[in-house]
């Protein structure tokens, strides 16, 4: 347990039976009124940000989460088999723990798992991933002036909307937060 005096950005607290990370906070002391703390809280599971006021000195439950980098070894149905890169222990987690971004993960990628002891609370994916396009319709010459787009399937099976100049075999950068195409990557 702690109180509002322990608040700092990044601190994880239990609020309304859910875990929230403090994005920002401000102690407010409005003259002859009672002091309070105005906060912006980010839901660890959904990512939704809410605002809330706490009475100054109010007790809150602080949760100590640890961040551990894990490498995706392989998929077993809808289970991801990950290896802790620090101690090489393997862990199995369901895809839904990762959320929508899991469709952009290929073997070998490293993600950060937020853990409360041995329990996985959430996962932080790399913001950008580079994936090879395995299937898309060929662009029609001269069509690029309109800035059109087309669907493309990448090596993980996800479908991304790409510009017309992208061809099969191209490597593209994708934003895992939105699932959107960012740019074509030059082959190294």
**How high does pLDDT run on average in the chain?**
88
Cβ-based neighbour number of residue 64 at 10 Å: 8
Whether the model clears a pTM of 0.75, i.e. scores above it, the answer is no
Lowest mean pLDDT among 3-7, 131-135, 144-148: 144-148
pLDDT higher than threshold 70 for residue 143: no
pLDDT higher than threshold 60 for residue 145: no
Lowest mean pLDDT among 15-24, 111-120, 160-169: 111-120
CATH: 2.40.37.10, 2.40.50.140, 1.20.1260.10, 2.60.40.420. Which one for 66-124? 2.40.50.140
Q: What is the pLDDT of residues 46-58, one digit of tens each?
A: 778 999 999 988 8
Average pLDDT over residues 122-147: 79
CATH: 2.115.10.20, 3.40.50.1100, 3.40.920.10, 2.30.30.30. Which one for 2-63? 2.30.30.30
């Amino acid at each position: 347990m702690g109180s509002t005096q322990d608040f700092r950005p990044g601190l994880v607290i239990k609020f309304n039976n859910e875990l929230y990370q403090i994005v920002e906070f401000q102690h407010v002391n409005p003259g002859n009124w009672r002091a309070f703390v105005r906060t912006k809280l980010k839901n660890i599971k959904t990512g939704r940000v809410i605002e809330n006021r706490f009475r100054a000195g109010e007790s809150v439950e602080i949760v100590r989460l640890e961040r551990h980098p894990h490498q995706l070894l392989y998929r077993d149905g809808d289970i991801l088999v990950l290896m802790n890169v620090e101690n090489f222990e393997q862990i199995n987690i369901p895809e839904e723990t990762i959320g929508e971004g899991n469709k952009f993960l290929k073997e070998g990628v490293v993600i950060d798992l937020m853990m409360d002891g041995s329990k996985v609370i959430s996962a932080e994916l790399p913001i950008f991933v580079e994936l090879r396009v395995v299937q898309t319709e060929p662009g029609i010459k001269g069509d690029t002036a309109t800035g059109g787009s087309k669907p493309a399937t990448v090596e993980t099976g996800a479908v991304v909307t790409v510009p017309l100049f992208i061809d099969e075999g191209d490597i593209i950068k994708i934003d895992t937060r939105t699932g959107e195409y960012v740019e074509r990557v030059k082959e190294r």
